[in-house]
Amino acid sequence: MIQSTTRFRKLVRSVGVGSSLSSSAKLRVHRCFGSVAASNAEQACEQSVESYNVKKNEYADLDWDNLGFGLTPTDYMYVMKCSNNGTFEQGQLNRYGNIELNPAAGVLNYGQGLYEGTKAYRKKDGNLILFRPDQNAMRMQFGAERMCMPSPSVDQFIDAVKQTVQANKCWVPPPGKGSLYIRPLLIGSGPILGLAPSPEYTFLVYASPVRNYFKEGSAPLNIYVEAEYDRASRGGAGGVKSITNYAPVLKALLRAKNRGFSDVLYLDSVNKKNLEEVSSCNIFIVKGNLISTPAAFGTILPGVTRRSIIEIARDLCYQVEERPIPVDELSEADEVFCTGTAVGVAPVGSITCQGKRMEYKTGAQTVCAQLYSTLVGIQTGHIEDKKGWIVEIE
């Protein structure tokens, strides 16, 4: 028993319990692996680290009906380091908790970092599935090349995501109650004083159960066209998922939200005439049978959901164009919607540009609703996947 207690104390220290997790979160960790008496908590927690053997339909102690898009700490994260020859070694699952970084780490001083976002879903039979994780892996590789970083292989990326989901399966919401949002990170973790690539890199994956990204839930969004600030410029890093792309949008985003808007739509940085994207998602406009979205030519992130919606729309016999879209076309559109891993497919009810408010069709009989139901049907296993997009987690 003394040996067991010592191992448990080491586990608690490695998790950072008492500093990074609230008391309610600590209770949820134990509940996740079954209801146990206090006297058996050490043994249950110790066993969970070794096997994390959770029954298929066993859930964490969480209010699934009131789940939003906020961080809910789960049990495990995946960590993998890059060796000196530029290849990633075998990674491992660690208890979720704080990580240690040198103050001179490249990610802290020079922003050398990328992240991805994907989701796991629970089917009605309890099985867990991923949606197109290979696309996230390839996008990370593309971004890593732009940021002078080595990156995990596609197989390493998918394996890490699978392991993270499997270890945290009790945190995957019940069918229809949300999804497990998965955040892979690639960071320059080694110390570097002069401006240069980091000497060491860390790939890690953590997860959190989520539901609706916007506070409006599934209600239509109210977007503001930003004319003062830019999101990206030609030749920059707007086309990759660099961590440096997101903090600069906060000023315009917070200003818009303080005025009652849901989010900000950015224009091109050169002429301020063409649509680019919203702070955290891509944008589409609909006119009759034509669906248009800005072409991803370096300043716009090529979203996985964006690409999927384009393919689904063409399968449904819509005409889809990827092209420059003048801001003036907003006044002629029948519908507008946004896409992204976090936001899904979100209808836009109105856009305000230079003091003019334009309103759009929303509701069950819209193109947006049709595309949304088809996408979610495939993602959750309700619609047969004929494209090989779904990855089963065994």
3 state DSSP class of 217: coil
- 74-112: b (≥16 Cβ within 10 Å) or e: bbbbbbbbbeeeeebeebebbbbbeeebeeebbbbbbbb
Residue type at position 256 = A
3-class secondary-structure state, position 73: coil
CA dihedral over 205, 156, 138, 378, signed as positive or negative? negative
Picking from 127, 277, 104, the residue whose alpha carbon sits closest to that of residue 198 is 104
Give me the residues paired with residue 187 across strands: 113, 202
Provide φ and ψ at 118, rounded to 5°: -145, 175
162 catalytic? Reply is: no
**Contacts for 21 with CB less than 8 Å, ≥ 6 apart:** 15, 29, 73, 97
Residue 41 tokens read as 């908590």
Residue type, 17: V
The residues, any chain, with a CB within 8 Å of residue 281's CB and separated by 6 or more, are 263, 303, 305, 338, 339, 340, 342, 343, 346
Two tokens at 242? 């660099």
Catalytic residue, from 119, 162, 169, 241: name it.
241
Q: Give me the active site residues, please.
A: 241
